[in-house]
């Protein structure tokens, strides 16, 4: 079940205030406040046994409204009347959410994007939400945003990359095991995402936090590079680079790739880099992504500035920026972008996480920063005891923070945030909120 439109419509009459051009099809609308769909990250235990995966959540924010709708419902198409609803729930607060007992299921990406390039513009997957009283006053759908930069080019291309709000994924490659010994799709403390790199791109993610490891027991050099979560091998690197290449080949989007950590095989015991391993990685990146790479030596701006405009990158057709965490390697390879600051709280407490990010986002970027970008790492980190004692899971941790990430980005962080990286990104609304704020920032120039 999928409904799609070729045109763009953003947050009509909502608190985010993005405008809608005349004659555009409106698939997100509200006379006041806003509703949206997310996907519950933890499994839900069913009374008769078994688990419900990917339960649909309905979210609302009517805090700016004088009259709060009485009810909210789940629909499988555009909500025109309550008789169409699959389920209806009472709204008893100005802000909130409800977890339905309906799974998203194995929905294919709409509009031709499931296995290749599809139609431009945002498109709806099947879950819709509607809210109101006797009549439906607000509606929205779970969307893909495969070409959101091009869709909004006239409004956002004048922004510098450090002025954008960029939706990102933490440990982006840790979405499903693909090793000789495991093909697990769900795991408590290793897997951080539910969707492939291709699907993340199609949904609108533009920043990828990669943790790259090297294993010399593979005969072919290209097979030795993997994406890890710490010391755990998850997926081979090269196929994921090819997904990014296919996306860049067929769109005009700008993608930010960050070699954030090298957990295995890149350093000697004394901490010195193993240069041949680093150079092998750089050769792979250039081989697979070379035609799209925006060289820092050509496009970077002075320290403490916000980098090139989107328009500059699009005009040159160099739309892949590769940041590298090792300054020694960057110094000898001037096409690499320097270390990208990561605002990481290193805590398993949601309260401490948001206190830290509030403070750090307010003070970023630093005037001396070599990178025009910075990433708010919007996830908690399990302690060693959490992992040993199997207390909770990464899915539970994400559930404890993702709703607040959405609301924080729409309010407290909206002035300064740049990249916002999260786990299980479908459990928040960072993609749509990032687009709206980027458009708003451009309108203020």
Only one residue has tokens 């990178």, namely: 371
CA-CA distance, 352 to 406, in Å (whole number)?
A: 17
Tokens of 422: 């999260």
Q: Bridge partners of 37?
A: 58
pLDDT at 4: 32
Q: Bridge partners of 38?
A: 57
Q: Residue 65's CB: how many other CB atoms inside 10 A?
A: 18
Helix (H) or strand (E) holding 377: strand 375-377
pLDDT at 302: 87
CA-CA distance, 129 to 43, in Å (whole number)?
A: 21
Determine how β-strand 123-132 pairs with β-strand 2-4: antiparallel
Q: What is the mean pLDDT of each run of 10 residues along the chain (445 residues)?
A: 34 34 61 95 90 96 94 95 96 96 92 94 96 95 97 97 98 89 78 95 98 97 95 95 98 97 96 97 98 96 92 98 97 96 96 98 91 97 83 91 97 97 98 97 91
| pTM of this structure | 0.93
CA-CA distance, 264 to 95, in Å (whole number)?
A: 44
Q: Could you give the domains of the chain?
A: 2-144 (no CATH), 148-444 (3.20.20.190)
pLDDT at 11: 39
Taking the mean position of all CA atoms in its chain, how far away is CA 49?
Answer: 32
CA-CA distance, 224 to 265, in Å (whole number)?
A: 10
CA-CA distance, 211 to 18, in Å (whole number)?
A: 35
Tokens of 392: 């909770």
pLDDT at 388: 82
- How confident is the model over 65-118, as pLDDT tens digits? 999 999 999 999 999 999 999 999 999 999 999 999 999 998 799 999 998 999
pLDDT at 379: 96
Report CA-CA distances (Å) from 286 to 241, 259, 276, 277, 423. 10, 14, 15, 14, 28
CA-CA distance, 86 to 55, in Å (whole number)?
A: 14
User: Please, what sign has the CA dihedral across residues 284, 256, 364, 211?
Assistant: negative
pLDDT at 25: 54
CA-CA distance, 305 to 373, in Å (whole number)?
A: 9
pLDDT at 106: 84
pLDDT at 2: 39
- The DSSP secondary-structure symbol of 108 reads P
- Phi then psi for residue 422, to 5 deg, are -135, 165
């Amino acid at each position: 079940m999928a409904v799609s439109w070729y045109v763009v419509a953003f947050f009509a009459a909502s608190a985010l205030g993005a405008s809608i051009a005349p004659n555009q099809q409106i698939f997100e609308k509200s006379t006041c406040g806003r509703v949206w769909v997310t996907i519950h990250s933890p499994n839900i235990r069913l009374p008769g046994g078994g688990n419900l995966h990917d339960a649909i959540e309905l979210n609302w924010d009517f805090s700016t409204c004088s009259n709060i709708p009485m009810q909210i419902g789940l629909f499988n198409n555009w909500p025109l009347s309550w008789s169409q609803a699959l389920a209806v729930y009472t709204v008893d607060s100005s802000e909130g959410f409800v977890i339905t007992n309906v799974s998203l299921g194995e929905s294919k990406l709409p509009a031709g994007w499931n296995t290749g390039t599809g139609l431009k513009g945002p498109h709806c997957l099947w879950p819709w939400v509607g809210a109101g009283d006797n009549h439906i006053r607000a509606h929205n759908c779970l969307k893909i945003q495969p070409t959101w930069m091009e869709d909004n080019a006239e409004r956002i291309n004048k922004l510098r990359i450090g002025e954008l709000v960029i939706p990102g994924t933490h440990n982006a490659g840790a979405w499903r095991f693909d090793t000789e010994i495991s093909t697990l799709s769900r795991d408590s403390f290793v897997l951080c995402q539910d969707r492939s790199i291709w699907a993340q791109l199609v949904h609108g993610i533009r920043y990828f936090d990669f943790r790259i490891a090297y294993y010399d027991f593979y005969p072919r050099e290209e097979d030795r590079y993997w994406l890890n979560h710490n010391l755990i091998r998850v997926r081979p690197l090269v196929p994921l680079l090819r997904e990014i290449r296919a996306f860049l080949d067929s769109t005009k989007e700008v993608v930010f790739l960050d070699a954030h950590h090298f957990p295995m095989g890149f350093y000697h015991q004394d901490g010195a880099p193993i240069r041949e391993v680093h150079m092998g990685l750089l050769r792979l990146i250039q081989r697979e992504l070379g035609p799209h790479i925006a060289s820092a030596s050509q496009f970077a701006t002075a320290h403490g500035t916000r980098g090139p405009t989107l328009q500059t990158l699009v005009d040159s057709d160099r739309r892949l920026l590769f940041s590298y965490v090792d300054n020694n390697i960057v110094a000898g390879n001037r096409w690499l972008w320097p270390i990208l600051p990561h605002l990481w709280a290193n805590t398993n407490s949601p309260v401490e996480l948001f206190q830290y990010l509030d403070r750090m986002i307010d003070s970023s970027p630093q005037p001396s920063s070599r990178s025009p970008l910075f990433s708010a790492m919007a996830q908690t980190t399990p302690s060693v005891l959490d992992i040993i004692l199997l207390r909770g899971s990464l899915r539970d941790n994400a559930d404890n923070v993702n709703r607040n990430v959405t609301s924080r980005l729409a309010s407290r962080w909206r002035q300064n945030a740049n990249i916002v990286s999260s786990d299980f990104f479908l459990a928040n609304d960072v993609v749509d909120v990032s687009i709206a704020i980027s458009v708003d920032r451009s309108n203020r120039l």
